[in-house]
Amino acid sequence: MTPRIDFTSDDFFRDPPKGIAKLRAFGPVVATRFPLVGDVWVTTTYETTAQVLKDSTVFTLRKEGGELAGVRWWMPKLLTTIANNMLTMDEPDHTRLRSIVDEAFRRRAIVAMEPRIRAIADDLAANLFAGGSPADLVQRYARILPLSVICELLGLPQADRPKFIAWANSMAGLTSIFGIVRMLFALGKMRHYLEAQLDVARKEGGEGLIAELVQVEREGGRITPSEMVSMVFLLLAAGSETTTHLISGSVYELLKNPRLRDWLEEDWSRVGLAVEEFLRFVSPVQFSKPRYVRRDVELDGVHLKKGDRVMVMLTAANMDGDVHEHPDVLDLARKPNRHLSFGTGIHFCLGHQLARIEAVCALQALFSRWPGLALAVDPRDIHWRKRPGIRAIAKLPVATGARQPVDVSRNLPGATRSRSQPNTERPSSAGEATRSPAM
End-to-end CA distance of the chain: 47
Q: Are strands 309-311 and 38-43 parallel, antiparallel or unpaired?
A: parallel
Number of H helices, E strands in the chain: 17, 10
The 10s digit of each residue's pLDDT in 65-111 is: 666 655 555 555 656 666 677 888 889 888 988 888 887 777 777 88
User: CA torsion 96→97→101→106, rounded to 10°?
Assistant: -20
The 10s digit of each residue's pLDDT in 38-62 is: 899 999 999 999 999 999 999 999 8
The 10s digit of each residue's pLDDT in 362-379 is: 999 999 999 999 999 999
> Between these two residues, 300 and 78, which has the higher pLDDT value?
300
pLDDT band at residue 417 using 50, 70 and 90 as cut-offs: very low
State whether residue 302 is helix, strand or coil.
strand
User: What pTM, to 2 d.p., does this model score?
Assistant: 0.87
Structural domains of the chain ordered from first start:
73-282+334-410 (1.10.630.10)
**Angle between helix 225-238 and 93-108 (nearest 10):** 60
